[in-house]
Amino acid sequence: MERTIEGLMLALRWLLLPLYLALLAALSAVYVMVGRESWHVAADLRDMTDTTLVVLLCSVLDLVLLANLLVMVAVSSYESYISRITAPAEASPEWLGKLDSGNVKVKVAVSVTMISMIHLLRAFMLDEPGQKLILLAGVHAVFVASALAVALIDRVTRH
């Protein structure tokens, strides 16, 4: 009976697969958004100010960070919770097989902090009102503190 329950519990881990595939499918939305931002740059490059270019490039950078985050979480979670990925060493990324849930949490926290930093920079470049900048800076400070706390907790639990 116990082995049957354990076997069932292990088999149910495959229910996570559609969630990881949904994360990877979300990359298509990121592609569309990057294409839209690239179109804006190409269409308006002649008349574009340096501030506008920086803001648009920050948007693209933001989306690239998000795409990296989606792939990293989906692939490392699949490998951690469902099945090991056996790919030739030259075909697999360096981090594959090295990320556990603690590492992923730290990387997610750092990525969210970087995305927040880009939003704050973009708001500053667009001359947003002071109150909005203060609010964004406060939110960013909370993300920085949270990322530091997650990293510290991960480090303490490893030793």
pLDDT in tens, 4-33: 998 899 889 999 999 999 999 999 999 999
Helix, strand, coil shares of the chain, percent, nearest 5, are 80, 0, 20
Q: Sign of dihedral through CA atoms 93, 80, 65, 152?
A: negative
Q: How far apart are CA 92 and CA 96, in angstroms?
A: 7
Tell which wins on pLDDT, 35 or 90.
Answer: 35
Q: How far apart are CA 139 and CA 117, in angstroms?
A: 10
How far is CA 103 from each of CA 90, 109, 155, rounded to the nearest angstrom? Answer: 22, 10, 10
Q: Give the global pTM.
A: 0.79
Q: Which pLDDT tens digit goes with each residue over 58-69?
A: 888 989 989 988
* First vs last C-alpha separation in the chain: 37
Does residue 57 register a pLDDT over 90?
A: no
The structure tokens listed for 37 are 């931002």
Q: What per-residue confidence (pLDDT) applies to 79?
A: 86
